[in-house]
Amino acid sequence: MIHVVLYEPEIPQNTGNIMRTCVAANCRLHLIEPLGFSLDEQKIRRSGMDYREKLQMSVYPDWAAFCAQNPDGEFYFLTRYGKQPPASFDYTRTEKDIYLVFGRESTGIPKAILRDHLDRCARLPMVADARSLNLSNCVAICVYEVLRQLDYPGLSKTEHIKGEDWLLV
């Protein structure tokens, strides 16, 4: 399973979009407090649409509590200070769950956490004078890179709501 971990997210619309991505990609979402918003905020409901009822989500009071409850798995950290793109990791080489960790929108993941995982720090390539991309976009890019490498396990590759031949009708 793929897990998306948001360390102290600040913007409700980003988290709502990430909730939607997690449902669509069959990922579990982990939120580490403090959050910059209330989980019942209208902005989250609007971004997450009707996907929230299908969301697999856990909330933790801090990083230590998250680590204590999730001791096994392969952890990868997205940070502007990473030195390799997410595609450089081979996600097919593990039998463990994959945890993709993202930091708060304003300051990212603390150095104290990153220092212990320098070999697992990734950066999305971009022009040199760009600081970062939007958090929800980063999550989607990274989740779908892992899914691509794993050949989209359990996900439909055809349209089922309107039918896979809808364009032909």
Is residue 132 a known part of a binding site?
yes
Q: Which two tokens stand for residue 126?
A: 């971009």
CA angle 72–154–119, rounded 5-degree value: 35
Is residue 124 a known part of a binding site?
yes
Q: Are 66 and 29 in contact (CB under 8 A)?
A: no
- Which residue from 2, 14, 22 is spatially nearest to 103, judged by alpha carbons? 14
How many whole angstroms separate alpha carbon 128 and alpha carbon 160? 41
Q: Are 19 and 44 in contact (CB under 8 A)?
A: yes
Q: Which two tokens stand for residue 127?
A: 């022009």
Residue 102, H or E segment: strand 98-102
Binding residues: 78, 103, 124, 132
Binding residues for S-adenosyl-L-methionine: 78, 103, 124, 132
